[in-house]
Amino acid sequence: MLQNISNFVKVFAILLPLITLANDRIFPLDESLKKEMQGSSYHRGCPVELSDLRLIKVKHHGFDSTTKQGELIVHKNIADEVLTIFDELYDIGYPIKQIIRIDKFKGSDFASIEADNTSAFNCRKATGSGKWSRHSFGKAIDINPIENPYVFRDGRTSHKASYKYINRNIQNPKTPQEKAMLLPNSNTVKIFKKHGWRWGGDWKVKDYQHFDKP
């Protein structure tokens, strides 16, 4: 019995730093943040409670090759998983322009995309649909949206800077922007799929920036 307790204590001592590290990057929404979100990314009628969301802090490689810090708001049930995914993206050197909460853009998905901003929670309807987007549940992430545009059936996209990236036939990417392009064989896409996420690049109407958790 004493030996079992001793073994448990040893295992707990090993795991405790890892648990602490995760908690140091996952936070319930404080009152100040809730107030900032109200009328911006969150409003009456949203299909998720603010108490079910978490603020997470992630590190990433910027387009300038330096390590940067970003913030995402996601559902509490996937917060740990999202941290793991972004740690893996960092380890493979995947570049991300910036990761700023969409409240800084007053909840405007268009403005966030124009800034080539990677974001997660935003209570809104899905593009071209009257249904809630998975972003509204805190279970979707749009990554490098300029380099990975939403492309309408007729081949158009809403953002002028994205037109050069509609053609996905790229060999030997050299610039950070080219390396940010998500393709079927991209390691970034493989990482998300490994964790059970869907990629919008697999859809008939392409949404290359989009990943969501069913």
Q: Which two tokens stand for residue 11?
A: 């295992």
- Res 153: pLDDT: 93
Q: Is 213 helix (H, G, I), strand (E, B) or coil?
A: coil
- Res 20: pLDDT: 42
- Res 130: pLDDT: 82
- Res 14: pLDDT: 54
- Cβ-proximal residues to 72 (8 Å cutoff; 6+ apart), any chain: 55, 56, 58, 82, 99, 101, 118, 119, 120, 121, 141
Name the H helices within the chain.
2-23, 31-37, 79-91, 109-114, 176-180, 187-194
Domain ranges of the chain: 2-212
Tell which residue, 91, 104, 112, has the closest CA to residue 37. Answer: 104
| Stated pTM of the model | 0.87
Half-sphere exposure of 190 (CA within 13 A, CB side): 6
In the chain, which stretches have pLDDT less than 70?
1-23
Structure-derived torsion over alpha carbons of residues 90, 95, 100, 102, reported in degrees to the nearest 10: -110
What is the spatial order of strands in the sheet that 53-61 belongs to?
A: 26-28, 53-61, 67-75
